[in-house]
């Protein structure tokens, strides 16, 4: 799992995809 910390106020865009345990974020891009 590629968990990464986000700084407060950081802009992020992502798509919702289906994971093994339900919806999950994918194609995450820091803006």
* pLDDT per position as a tens digit, 1-31: 666 788 888 888 999 999 999 999 999 888 8
The vertex-4 CA angle with 2 and 11, nearest 5°, equals: 125
* Domain span holding position 3: 1-30
Residue 15: phi and psi, rounded to 5, are -110, 155
Domain count, the chain: 1
Distance separating alpha carbons of residues 27 and 31, to the nearest angstrom:
12
Distance separating alpha carbons of residues 9 and 31, to the nearest angstrom:
11
pLDDT for position 17: 94
pTM listed for this prediction: 0.48
Residues 19, 27 contacting (CB under 8 angstroms): no
pLDDT for position 1: 62
């Amino acid at each position: 799992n590629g968990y990464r910390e986000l700084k407060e106020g950081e802009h992020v865009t992502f798509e919702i995809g289906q994971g093994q345990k339900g919806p999950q974020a994918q194609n995450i891009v820091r803006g």
